[in-house]
Amino acid sequence: AQSVAQPEDQVNVAEGNPLTVKCTYSVSGNPYLFWYVQYPNRGLQFLLKYITGDNLVKGSYGFEAEFNKSQTSFHLKKPSALVSDSALYFCAVRDRTGGFKTIFGAGTRLFVKA
């Protein structure tokens, strides 16, 4: 069975500082990995994905994520946080051998303080 863990309920950073939101996963095969962001009372918006190739993937709004197969991690990063980055972030995984089933982590709330 596939699963996703986001160990931090909340991450607090000051504007201009780098941010990291952590994600680890468990799948039986090789994963597709995704990050989504959710603003209040809205659906989820896609940020970036890892399919294959370069372990460092770049996405929307200056976000990037690093795939680490040995640590089964896919942490979301940004070099310089903005107040407008404050939102709920979800990591998601899809097992390549498991059809289209996509499972989400519990989410991490990011607060960026001015």
Name the residues that contact other proteins, by CB under 8 A: 32, 34, 36, 38, 41-46, 49, 51, 88, 90, 92, 94, 96, 99-107, 109
Q: Show the tokens assigned to 77.
A: 């990063």
* SS3 call for 4: strand
Q: Which is nearer to other proteins, 69 or 96 (CB)?
A: 96
Q: In the bound complex, what is the minimum distance in angstroms from residue 68's beta carbon to other proteins? A: 19
Q: In the bound complex, what is the minimum distance in angstroms from residue 16's beta carbon to other proteins? A: 26
Q: Judge whether 21 and 50 are in contact, CB under 8 Å.
A: no
DSSP element (H, E) containing 33: strand 31-38
